Amino acid sequence: MCFLTALQKLVSVLHSKLNDEIYLHKRNLRAFKNGFSRNVPGEGFVLGGVFIIAQGEQGILLEHREMEFGDKVNIEAVIRAVRRISQEQQPEEH
């Protein structure tokens, strides 16, 4: 009975991993079809992100780490974060 339970768990894990790989490949293919191009020399598959960081105690106002290709930052969230930067943090114009 223990062997059968362990085998069922193994099959379940393998099935889950296979589904994850298929999902990832579908997302990558869709990103490439929508114009994503990668830097072939070097890493080639480096994901990016967007950070908006204010000075002082305001700190990090937005953090978006790309989890998969085609995972874009929410532009409205970027606008809200930029608007939150304190006026006193902005440099004076001369």
One domain for residues 56 and 27: no
Same domain, yes or no: 88 and 61: yes
pLDDT of the residue at 88: 53
Q: Contacts from 40-46 at CB under 8 Å and sequence distance 24+?
A: 45/69
Quote the domain boundaries for residue 1: 1-39
Query: Are 51 and 94 contained in the same domain?
Result: yes
Verify that 34 and 6 share a domain, yes or no.
yes
pLDDT in single tens digits along all 94 residues of the chain:
577 777 777 778 777 777 777 877 788 788 778 877 665 555 556 788 999 999 888 889 999 998 877 788 999 999 999 998 876 555 656 5
Q: How is the chain classified by DSSP, letter by letter?
A: -HHHHHHHHHHHHHHHHHHHHHHHHHHHHHHHHTT-----SS-S----EEEEE-SGGG-EEEEEE--STT----HHHHHHHHHHS-GGGSPPP-
pTM (global) more than 0.85: no
